[in-house]
Amino acid sequence: MLNRTNLATLLVVLAFLAVPMAATWLGTNYVITLATRVAIYGIVAVSLDMLVGRGNLVSFGHAAYFGLGGYAVAIASFHLANDVPIFGWSGTNEALIAWPLAMAVAGLAALVIGALSLRTAGVYFIMITLAFAQMLFFLFVALKYYGGDDGLSLSTRNLFAGNRITDSRTFYWICVSALALCVLLSWRILNSRFGMVLRGAAASERRMAALGFPVYRYRLAAFVIAGMMAGLAGALWANQNRFVSPDMLSWVRSGEFLVMVIMGGLSSLVGPVVGAAAFLLIESYLSGATEHWQMIFGPFVLLVAVFAPRGLWGAVRGKDRQ
Amino acid sequence: MSALQLEGLRKSFGSLRATDNVSLGVEDGECHAVIGPNGAGKTTLIGEITGEIAPDAGRISLFGVDVTSWNVPRRALSGLARSFQITQLAPGFTALDNAAFAVQARQGHSFRFIADARKDKRLREPALAALEQVGLADRADRNAEALSHGERRQLELAVALAMQPRLLLLDEPMAGMGPEEGARMVEILRGIKRTMTIVLVEHDMDAVFALADRVSVLVNGAILKTGTPREVRDDARVRDAYLGAGAH
């Protein structure tokens, strides 16, 4: 059915498909670089929305999993470049190994942090997720061996199934495919039995417990899934920039992720991606004009909050049923 | 074997004895009403039975199994369903969704990530049957918050029935209902009463005397009297403590 929502979704898909052509037409690769970042941040935003929008779990530490994914790839690459590969094994330069590894590391951290944080609720949950993320941030600042404050450079991008992915278009398609996979997966998950429990618990936790759902376990699983997606995004980010730094895990970054999700539209699959795009486009445009771009961006976010309480995507969808 | 057995249950909040040495047995298959004036400790007692409130002392058994240390979901899965005094439905979900949650809960774990739950006949058909049982089938696709107050109370019951419980704990099912809706609810309850054990916590005396096999009167956290509706109605102490007190 071609209602406003489907039409807008189609436009978003077409926009992603048209990026390489637009780059050729405009004669600049910057469009591709920017769109690649949109895809990567889009993955983070979609994963965060699963927690904030669907689970009513406001995680203020989502950058931790993003950063861990990045560091997992960078550290493996660092050891390879210095001829001390982890376990003496050189397979870690293969994306199909390094990226799942990054997801596993991020997922494991999410398991531990989630297991502790999810025992709290509301404001305490926000504060404790933030506190854990800050602990990891300072851990990487202190890790001088891996660059500490200065971060860590990757000598090359990973190989993807044995192929080089240094070409910006090739890398763009990889990132867009990863985003598409994450959106599709989230869509299936949120409508599955698991998703119904997660969303039902957000609507009425007491009810779900009284029906016999051990809500905590389902929330923890969602926390791990979201952490793994953010870890994948971090691995992609590290490859795009061939650089990681503690900044990836900072609380400012966590806040930006939340702004993307809320500005784009909570509890909508495409909304967070639109939010990530809006954030990065505005940042890119305004920061070219002035160093104090946030002076303009702040009021913009405020306007969205006042006039489009369901976010940009909610405004686009209009009165379409949820 | 009794369906529900409470032994020496105690719970205090500060100096207030909300549950004061309550012992109570509910026989398998009976409809047992718990009545008492406001502040008698009915809500606390329900919380202790469902597992939301941990008693300070005493034991709770369901069908002969000591469940005192069990949490809420575990007790629910062992066959205890409850309705809420203040409706606890999931807003943003349809009436059918709300009933389907209950069906899903008793079909094992929900770590199933791919198949669409709303297209799952194993969930939707029993859920619809539960709505039919309370006469809400024509409201199946209506959002829970768009239902009238009486319909929400009916849905609250349908969700509990969809769990196919062995013991049904009803927390003031007639609360806030008009006489007509209340009479209808009594009819629905009369229909299900022979199929499961029911603990009915209710203010509405007509409903209690129409449905209950036995009645326990709770006053100041303690059981004042347990007996048939007639025995309870004729008891002088009950009349002093409650039926009389309820008049003003």
Can you say whether the dihedral through the CA atoms of B147, B148, B153, B154 is positive or negative? negative
Residue A136, min C-alpha distance to chain B (Å): 30
Q: Which of B97, B105, B113 lies nearest to residue A211, judging by beta carbons? A: B105
pLDDT at A284: 92
**In which band, very low, low, confident or very high, does the pLDDT at B243 lie, cut at 50, 70 and 90?**
low
Instruction: Establish if A2 belongs to a structural domain.
Output: no
The torsion angle over the Cα atoms of residues B12, B17, B23 and B25, rounded to 10 degrees, is -90
Instruction: Establish if A296 belongs to a structural domain.
Output: no
Interface test with A, best of B85, B89, B110, B111 (most A CBs within 10 A): B110
Instruction: Establish if A310 belongs to a structural domain.
Output: no
The torsion angle over the Cα atoms of residues A300, A302, A303 and A305, rounded to 10 degrees, is 130
pLDDT at A87: 66
Supply φ then ψ for residue B83, to 5 degrees: -105, 160
Nearest to A233 by CA among A221, A216, A249: A249
* Domain ranges, residue A110: 42-251
Say how far apart CA A262 and CA A256 lie, in whole Å.
10
- Interface contact flag, B90 A191, Cβ < 8 Å: no
Q: Which of B88, B93, B123 lies nearest to residue A206, judging by beta carbons? A: B88
Chain B CB contacts of A211 under 8 Å are 73, 76, 101-102, 105, 159, 163
Chain A CB contacts of B112 under 8 Å are 192-194
Say how far apart CA A63 and CA A260 lie, in whole Å.
13
Residue of A nearest to B169 (CA): A210
Residue B75, min C-alpha distance to chain A (Å): 7
Residue A84, min C-alpha distance to chain B (Å): 40
- Interface contact flag, B50 A210, Cβ < 8 Å: yes
Say how far apart CA B67 and CA B150 lie, in whole Å.
33
Tell me the two tokens of residue A39: 């895809």
DSSP 8-class letter at B61: E
Q: Which of A195, A199, A207 lies nearest to residue B89, judging by beta carbons? A: A207
pLDDT over 70 (residue B245): no
Give residues with Cβ within 8 angstroms of A19, minimum separation 6: A31, A32, A35, A172
Beta-strand runs (E) in chain B = 2-13, 16-27, 31-35, 57-62, 65-66, 80-83, 167-171, 197-201, 214-219, 222-227
Instruction: Establish if A304 belongs to a structural domain.
Output: no
| Gyration radius of chain A over CA positions | 19
Q: Which of residues 218-257 of A touch B (CB under 8 A)?
A: 218, 221
Quote the ipTM score: 0.93
Tell me the two tokens of residue A88: 């003496």
- A136 within 8 A of A67, measured Cβ to Cβ: yes
Interface test with B, best of A181, A193, A213, A268 (most B CBs within 10 A): A193
Query: pTM here?
Result: 0.94
pLDDT at B247: 45
- Interface contact flag, B117 A195, Cβ < 8 Å: yes
Residue A223, min C-alpha distance to chain B (Å): 14
How many other CB atoms sit within 10 Å of the CB of residue A316?
Answer: 22
Q: pLDDT of chain A along its 322 residues, tens only?
A: 678 899 999 999 999 999 999 999 999 899 999 999 999 999 999 999 999 999 999 999 999 999 999 999 999 999 888 877 776 677 788 999 999 999 999 999 999 999 999 999 999 999 999 999 999 999 999 999 999 999 999 989 999 998 999 999 999 999 999 999 999 999 999 999 999 999 999 999 999 999 999 999 999 999 999 999 999 999 999 999 999 999 999 999 999 999 999 999 999 999 999 999 999 999 999 988 888 888 999 999 899 989 988 999 999 888 765 4
pLDDT at B127: 97
Does B159 reach chain A within 8 Å, measured CB to CB? yes
pLDDT over 70 (residue B188): yes
For residue B101, give Cα distances in angstroms to B24, B127, B165.
31, 8, 14
Nearest to B77 by CA among B3, B1, B163, B192: B163
pLDDT at B248: 40
What string of DSSP letters covers B201-232? Answer: E-S-HHHHHHH-SEEEEEETTEEEEEE-HHHH
Chain A CB contacts of B102 under 8 Å are 211
Does A194 reach chain B within 8 Å, measured CB to CB? yes
Q: Which of B84, B106, B117 lies nearest to residue A196, judging by beta carbons? A: B117
Instruction: Establish if A188 belongs to a structural domain.
Output: yes
pLDDT at B1: 77
pLDDT at B238: 85
Say how far apart CA A222 and CA A57 lie, in whole Å.
10
| Number of domains chain A is built from | 1
Instruction: Establish if A138 belongs to a structural domain.
Output: yes
Instruction: Establish if A116 belongs to a structural domain.
Output: yes
Tell me the two tokens of residue A177: 């495919």
How many other CB atoms sit within 10 Å of the CB of residue A150?
Answer: 12
Instruction: Establish if A103 belongs to a structural domain.
Output: yes
Average pLDDT, integer, range B67-88: 95
How many other CB atoms sit within 10 Å of the CB of residue A302?
Answer: 10
Three-state SS annotation for chain A: CCCHHHHHHHHHHHHHHHHHHHHHHHCCCHHHHHHHHHHHHHHHHHHHHHHHHHCCCCCCCCHHHHHHHHHHHHHHHHHHHCCCCHHHCHHHHEHHHHHHHHHHHHHHHHHHHHHHHCCCCCHHHHHHHHHHHHHHHHHHHHCHHHCHHHCEECCCCCEECCEECCCHHHHHHHHHHHHHHHHHHHHHHHHCHHHHHHHHHHHCHHHHHHHCCCHHHHHHHHHHHHHHHHHHHHHHHHHHHCEECHHHHCHHHHHHHHHHHHHHCCCCCCHHHHHHHHHHHHHHHHHHHCCCCHHHHHHHHHHHHHHCCCHHHHHHHCCCCC
Does A195 reach chain B within 8 Å, measured CB to CB? yes
pLDDT over 70 (residue B220): yes
